[in-house]
Chains A and B, each alone.
Chain A
Amino acid sequence: MARRRSVLRRTGGGRRIPAGVLLAIVLVIGALALIVARVGLTPGTDVAMQAGDDSAAAAGRVATGPARAGQNFFQRIGGMWNASERVQELERENRELQQWRQLAERLAERNARYEELLRMPADAFGESADIENSIAAQLVLDSGGPFTRTLVANAGADHGVRIGFIAVNENGLIGRVVSVGRRSSRVLMLDDYNSRIPVLGEASRVRAVLAGQATRPPELVTHPYQMQAPRMDFIVGAQALREGERVITSGDGGLFPRGIPVGIARRQNDGSWRVALAAAQQPIDFVRLIPFIAVPAPEADAVPGEGPPLTASSSVSSITRQTMAPPPTAPSTAPAAATPPRPRPAQQQQQPRPQQQPAATTPPAQETPPPATPAAEPQE
């Protein structure tokens, strides 16, 4: 019967090309044309993909609802078995964390004073990232396919999400929003084949490019939602990089804010470096989408009366004798002419600083011994 549906007779051969084969050939050509025609389109300009994401996200919410409910139920049931042990463990961790908190607060206070003395610009978590206006969203779709590594979250343009928002979870950086629909947004993950982000070793200050590999090492399969371990390329001063060092975003290129935790540097047997992503420590369920406005390039001409460009994103600061704190015994009512105040940029003056006190009147706190060092290092 199928042969009766054949539509084309091969010239000279007497055999016919079946209609299905002919249709398949036409569709293959169409698919090739579709791929080629969309080469120039980025996810952000792909209207069809955005509309499809909205529909798929709605279906994904419905489809994953029972699975999530069941997962929570079984987790709750399973947690009841060892509840008392977990309470004891959490109490012990809490005692240790309180010691660490006291130490951290003391060091933060001292660090703030040092920065004030050195007139350092702020270098905190995600500089220029608008943490307060971040948007929390739930993961509803995972690409799960072999070609790309993306996530679809259930917050879109209606919720205020825009292309370029940074996606993080409680552990660290996940990726960046590359496509926004009305009620959904697609996040390009760090381990995607096309992901390249500039990073920095937190202690060694070694700069590198984190390149997604989209490979799937077997050891990662046991951990749910585990992201891949991207490779570090173009490392400058790799010999200074240390095993287990924290890796953060460097802010170079202006796509990511500086200082967001990325993961831990791991040296491979072949000498290359990979990063065990911090965001992959736990299942990725909720994500936080953070607005990010890149630091503008410095003006071509110096703005008169604004002093040195201390508001730039780099940590470079001009250190002069005038910035040194006077000895603690110096009188607080010293004449202004003796220590003329340097002009401060307007933006820096607006930045709130913890414990902002005049350096001339308040000496640095006396060295106090830190609390007893906890036995265990804090988990990364």
Chain B
Amino acid sequence: MNAFSLRAPSRRALRAWGLALAVASVILPALPLGPLFAQPPLPLAVLWAAYGWAAEDESGWRAPLALTLLGLLHDQLAGGPYGLFVLVYLSAYLIGRIAAVAMSAPNLVSLWGGFIVTALLSILIVVGVERLIVPIAVVPYAEAALITAILFPLVRPLYMTSTNSPSGGRR
């Protein structure tokens, strides 16, 4: 057996790493580690998770529940308001579900485009909350969301495969 042969990580392992990255993106900005760990420039990895889990047809209760818990934790650590990150992440999940159904033959480019649309719509949601409900800073969130969208192809394997069938079939 060749000791140097590398086996491709399993889908399960990649998903675990994706979840760890999402949790880290929630916790690290709260620690006083300097501006490099603030959001922005740190991406909102939970948006990747929401989009990826939606596209992978995570139709069980685990994905929305995990996103809700991560959102509440993010709200607490970021100083509120409570429910805002929950709203953003779950909205991204629902938008991701719609995008997954809409795409018949996804490839990397179309998945990336779908995520960019998801990020832009999440910015619109934040703008709506800012205008209608509670005063919050929109520009830093928009910057973080755009950075998240730009970096999506680099982390896409942690959350989804490019050969997935978007309409809920086996991916």
A interface list, Cβ under 8 A from B: 2-3, 5-6, 18-21, 23-25, 27-28, 30-36, 38-39, 43, 46, 48-49, 52-53, 56, 60, 63-64, 67, 139-150, 186, 192-194, 213-216, 220-221, 223-226, 283-285
Contact = CB atoms under 8 A, between A and B. Distances in A.
B83 A34 contact: yes
A146 B34 contact: no
A147 B81 CA distance: 9
A26 to B, nearest CB: 8
A67 B33 contact: yes
Contacts of A67: 31, 33
Interface string B21-43: 00000011111111111111110
Given A23-B64, A27-B64, A64-B32, A35 B78 contact: no
B20 interface: no
B136 A19 contact: no
A64 B32 CA distance: 7
A29 B135 CA distance: 20
A64 B31 contact: yes
**Residue among A32, A36, A150, A220 facing the most chain B CB atoms (10 A cut-off):** A32
Contacts of B27: 63
Contact of A141 (B31, B35, B63): B31
B78 A144 contact: yes
A186 B76 CA distance: 12
21 contacts: A2-B57, A18-B59, A19-B60, A20-B63, A23-B64, A24-B94, A30-B83, A31-B86, A35-B134, A39-B133, A39-B134, A49-B82, A60-B32, A144-B77, A146-B40, A146-B140, A146-B144, A150-B79, A215-B139, A216-B38, A220-B35
Given A147-B140, A285-B32, 8 more contacts: A19-B61, A28-B91, A31-B84, A35-B134, A147-B81, A150-B79, A214-B140, A221-B36
Interface string B84-112: 10110011011001000000000000000
- A-B pairs with the 7 shortest C-beta distances? A145-B78, A144-B29, A18-B59, A214-B137, A34-B83, A2-B59, A146-B140
B83 to A, nearest CB: 3
B82 A48 contact: yes
Contacts of B35: 220-221, 223-226
Contacts of B68: 27, 31
A147 B136 contact: yes
B59 A21 contact: yes
A20 B64 contact: yes
